[in-house]
């Protein structure tokens, strides 16, 4: 979808970032230039008036499913992956603060010597103070993806939209990097996204968003200012909306 730079429709948004988004061109870990670029964008959106919550993955360090190949049971592997998300959250917190924008990391896994434990009340209080909140630790439970965690937090915090950052500018009928004939959807309903088994988010995340009637904006993080542009309704993206009725 391409929209005019009108008044943003969404006041409070939850931005979902993958861990891989923070690694840039590296094979793993954190690329400082990429982290800084994303932090600048998050800070700019907050300074422009958005209330910003961020859920970040941990795949640039470890995924629970990867552990199975190394002989690590799934539940334990997911716990390691949740710790990786906290590392990313702390790095992003510092990068956002370096842009002159207050930020706070809250973790679903209690580690009070490092960051504030997550609770709905604490997160809402930080948002009310104008801080970007960065939510690590997933849901605090194994067997749930950070996409599902993002949908859960968006519902808990009464967010107006979920902004799902990806490597492509929306949702396609197939992987556009593999299929040159893939077509991009301008808009979809949650039901259509689930029925078509579109893999940009897992089914549980789409279902949570549907039940709570939260729109999802799927956009590319490739360019500087991508988050702010999508929030303002500019650029190319796919909008997944609740069905009418």
| pLDDT category of residue 5 using cuts at 50, 70 and 90 | very low
> Of 157, 24, 165, 11, which is closest to residue 95 (Cα–Cα)?
24
- DSSP of 39-57: HHHHHHHHHTT-EEEEEE-
pLDDT at 64: 62
Q: Residue 62: count other Cβ atoms within 10 Å of its Cβ.
A: 23
What percentage of the chain reaches a pLDDT higher than 90? Answer: 81
Q: Which helix (H) or strand (E) holds 207?
A: helix 203-211
What percentage of the chain reaches a pLDDT higher than 70? Answer: 94
Is the pLDDT reported for residue 235 higher than 90?
no
Is the pLDDT reported for residue 200 higher than 90?
no
| pLDDT category of residue 69 using cuts at 50, 70 and 90 | confident
**Residues 194-211, mean pLDDT to the nearest whole number:** 91
pLDDT at 6: 47
pLDDT at 66: 65
Please tell me the class of the 12-241 domain.
Answer: alpha beta
pLDDT at 42: 98
Is the pLDDT reported for residue 3 higher than 50?
no
Q: Residue 155: count other Cβ atoms within 10 Å of its Cβ.
A: 17
pLDDT at 7: 55
Q: Which stretches of the chain are assigned E, i.e. beta strand?
A: 12-17, 51-56, 103-107, 116-117, 132-136, 161-166, 187-189, 216-220, 237-241
Range name among 4-13, 91-100, 187-196, 216-225 with the lowest pLDDT average? 4-13
pLDDT at 62: 87
Q: Pull the structure tokens for residue 15.
A: 């931005």
Give 4: exposed, middle or buried? Use CB within 10 Å, 0-12, 13-18, 19+. Answer: exposed
Is the pLDDT reported for residue 219 higher than 50?
yes
pLDDT at 68: 65
Q: Which sign, positive or negative, has the C-alpha torsion 138, 139, 140, 144?
A: negative
Beta bridge partners of 172: 184
pLDDT at 67: 62
- DSSP of 69-115: TTT--HHHHHHHHHHHHHHHHHHHHHHHHTTT--EEEEESS--TTTS
Determine contact, residues 219/41, Cβ cutoff 8 Å.
no
> Of 226, 243, 132, which is closest to residue 187 (Cα–Cα)?
243
**Residues 200-228, mean pLDDT to the nearest whole number:** 94
Map tokens 């979809």 to a residue: 188
**Residues 37-58, mean pLDDT to the nearest whole number:** 97
| pLDDT category of residue 71 using cuts at 50, 70 and 90 | confident
Dist CA 173 CA 190 (whole Å) = 15
Domain assignments of the chain as residue spans, ordered by start: 12-241
pLDDT at 80: 93
**Residues 52-58, mean pLDDT to the nearest whole number:** 97
Q: Pull the structure tokens for residue 138.
A: 């997933």
Q: Pull the structure tokens for residue 100.
A: 């002159």
């Amino acid at each position: 979808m391409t929209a005019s730079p009108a008044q943003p429709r969404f006041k409070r948004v939850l931005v979902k970032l993958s861990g891989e988004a923070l690694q840039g061109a590296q094979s793993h870990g954190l690329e400082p230039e990429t982290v800084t670029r994303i932090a600048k964008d998050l800070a700019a959106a907050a300074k422009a008036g958005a209330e910003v919550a961020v859920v970040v993955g941990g795949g640039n360090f470890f995924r629970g499913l990867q552990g199975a190949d190394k002989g690590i049971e799934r539940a334990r592997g997911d716990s390691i992956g949740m710790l990786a998300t906290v590392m990313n959250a702390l790095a992003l917190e510092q990068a956002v603060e370096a842009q002159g924008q207050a930020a706070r990391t809250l973790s679903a896994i209690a580690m009070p010597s490092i960051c504030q434990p997550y609770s709905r009340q604490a997160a809402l209080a930080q948002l009310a103070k104008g801080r970007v909140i960065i939510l690590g630790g997933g849901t605090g439970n194994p067997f749930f993806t950070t996409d599902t965690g993002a949908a859960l937090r968006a519902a808990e915090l009464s967010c107006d939209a979920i902004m799902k950052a990806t490597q492509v500018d929306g949702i396609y009928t197939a992987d556009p990097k593999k299929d040159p004939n893939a077509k991009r959807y301008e808009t979809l309903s949650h039901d259509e996204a689930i029925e078509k088994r579109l893999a940009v988010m897992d089914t549980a995340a789409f279902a949570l968003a549907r039940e709570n009637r939260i729109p999802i904006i799927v956009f590319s993080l490739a360019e500087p200012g991508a988050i702010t542009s999508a929030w303002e309704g500019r650029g190319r993206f796919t909008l997944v909306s609740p069905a009418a009725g």
